[in-house]
Amino acid sequence: MSAETWFASPAIPEREGLVAAAFARAWARTYTRGLAGEARVERLAELDSDLFEHERNGRRAGQSAVTLSFEILWRVVLGMPADVSWRLEAAQPGTALRTLAAAVSARSAATALWTVRRGMPGVTWVLAGGYVLVGIVLLLTLPLAGDKPPGERAWGGVMLLVAGLLIAGGFWLAKRRGKTAVALALAGSVPFGLAFSATIVVPAASVVALVCVVVKARSTTG
Amino acid sequence: MRRKPGALLPLEISILGAAMELAAGDSPEFHGYLLASALREREGARMLTAHGTLYKALDRMRKAGLLESRWEDPEAAAKDERPRRRLYRLTGAGERALAAVAATQMPAPAMIPGVAT
């Protein structure tokens, strides 16, 4: 019997899951990819159980889907650094990932400092700036839209512009109003991150931007 | 910065304390979400511990022998129509580690509720 079969729970009926829970599972599948043995299956099964209990208890307590989604996303995003660190530790000796982990570990302090001070804010500004820039270009080129309905193009432009401003606003506010900043960053980064999930780059940049704002907000509020 | 071998992180101390409280109640075995809820309650936090932080700590503590775990009977999970739970239990080594922390953090037994003094 395979590990996957052993952990499967066939008696569980199909349930309407939250998108946030699906995101949590997708993230877990991503960072556990290539993991040898039962470690991957066990981590996925354990997370699945946690998400199920979280959702079920929340619904029983009368929590709305929005509140539950926010809580789950919060837990996923804040746990990402630990997930990545756990994954690097779990990598098999001799693999590229383990070599990378060793290299990163050797320069961990400098790497972490650079990532927090330069890398993450850089990606956040590039993402926000990119959204704003593309939004402005879309709006300015409305008269040249040709046979496409301009309404669709205008909506896209406005949404990108707003998303960029929300992310930038979140980053700017992070040190003063942590919760507002995280809410703005979530609103700005998640929709397009999900909409362009196939591009890999946009969702990855969205996650980095979100983590960056959360880290900045937490470093201030403690 | 690397921590000293054998030294416990604040989260690990909290987990041991919460596990002791759960065991003193009616939950000698606990799953991840139950533990996260217990931690939130005892810390007075608004949010649950992040998945990655929690499960990485549990994995580390299990390997260190402070906790032991087993996967519950699939029939029990099927009966409740939910995924199987991984159940953790505090070990003797975990209890001793918590008692040692309590002893070195005097006067702070109140910070680790459930520790017999």
Q: Could you read off the pLDDT of A149-193 as tens digits, one per residue?
A: 667 778 888 888 888 898 888 888 888 888 888 888 888 888 887
- Using the 3D structure, point to which of A57, A76, A102 is the last residue of a domain: A102
Q: Does the pLDDT value for residue A53 go beyond 60?
A: yes
Tell me the shortest Cα–Cα distance from B57 to chain A, in angstroms. Answer: 9
- Same structural domain, A53 and A149: no
Question: What digits encode the pLDDT tens for the residues A71-105?
Answer: 999 999 889 989 998 998 887 666 666 666 666 66
Length of chain B: 117
The ipTM assigned to this model is: 0.85
Q: Is residue B5 part of a domain?
A: no
Q: Is residue A134 part of a domain?
A: yes
- Same structural domain, A170 and A97: no
For B13-16, the CB contacts below 8 A with 24+ separation are B13/B98, B13/B101, B13/B112, B14/B39, B14/B42, B14/B43, B15/B39, B15/B57, B15/B58, B15/B61, B15/B67, B16/B61, B16/B66, B16/B90, B16/B94, B16/B95, B16/B97, B16/B98, B16/B101, B16/B112
Q: How far apart are CA A48 and CA A122, in angstroms?
A: 33
Q: Is residue B4 part of a domain?
A: no
Tell me the shortest Cα–Cα distance from A196 to chain B, in angstroms. Answer: 25
Tell me the shortest Cα–Cα distance from A173 to chain B, in angstroms. Answer: 21
Q: Smallest Cβ distance to B52: which of A11, A56, A83?
A: A83
Boundaries of domain holding A37: 15-102
- Same structural domain, A83 and A142: no
Query: For residue A134, which amino acid is it?
Result: V
Residue entry with tokens 């459930």: B114
Strand residue runs (E) in B6-109: 29-30, 67-71, 86-90
**Number of domains forming the structure of chain B:** 1
Q: How far apart are CA A34 and CA A91, in angstroms?
A: 9
Q: Does the pLDDT value for residue A140 go beyond 90?
A: no
Question: What digits encode the pLDDT tens for the residues A110-134?
Answer: 766 777 677 788 888 888 888 888 8
* Residue predicted with more confidence, B63 or A97: B63
Q: Is residue A6 part of a domain?
A: no
Q: How far is CA A109 from the centre of its chain?
A: 24
Query: For residue B99, which amino acid is it?
Result: A
Q: Smallest Cβ distance to B51: which of A11, A13, A75?
A: A75
- Using the 3D structure, point to which of A102, A129, A147 is the last residue of a domain: A102
Query: For residue B61, which amino acid is it?
Result: M
- Same structural domain, A196 and A125: yes
- Same structural domain, A90 and A127: no
Size of interface A-B (CB pairs under 8 A): 96
Which of A44-58, A157-171, B91-105 is the least confident region? A157-171
Q: Is residue B31 part of a domain?
A: yes
Q: Does the pLDDT value for residue A145 go beyond 60?
A: yes
**Number of domains forming the structure of chain A:** 2
Q: Is residue A158 part of a domain?
A: yes
Question: Residue B97 — φ and ψ, nearest 5°?
Answer: -65, -40
- Compute the average pLDDT of residues B5-30: 91
Chain B contacts of A71, Cβ < 8 Å? 47-48
- For A144, the enclosing helix (H) or strand (E) is none
Q: Is residue B104 part of a domain?
A: yes
Length of chain A: 222
% residues pLDDT > 90 (chain A): 22
- Same structural domain, A144 and A200: yes
- Same structural domain, A50 and A82: yes
Say yes or no: B28 contacts chain A, CB-CB below 8 A: no
- Same structural domain, A20 and A81: yes
Q: How far apart are CA B18 and CA A167, in angstroms?
A: 37
The CATH number linked to B29 is 1.10.10.10
pLDDT for position A134: 86
- Same structural domain, A121 and A38: no
- Same structural domain, A138 and A46: no
- Same structural domain, A147 and A213: yes
- Using the 3D structure, point to which of A74, A102, A130 is the last residue of a domain: A102
Q: Smallest Cβ distance to A49: which of B52, B74, B85?
A: B85
Boundaries of domain holding B91: 10-110
Q: How far apart are CA A207 and CA A201, in angstroms?
A: 10
Q: Does the pLDDT value for residue A207 go beyond 60?
A: yes
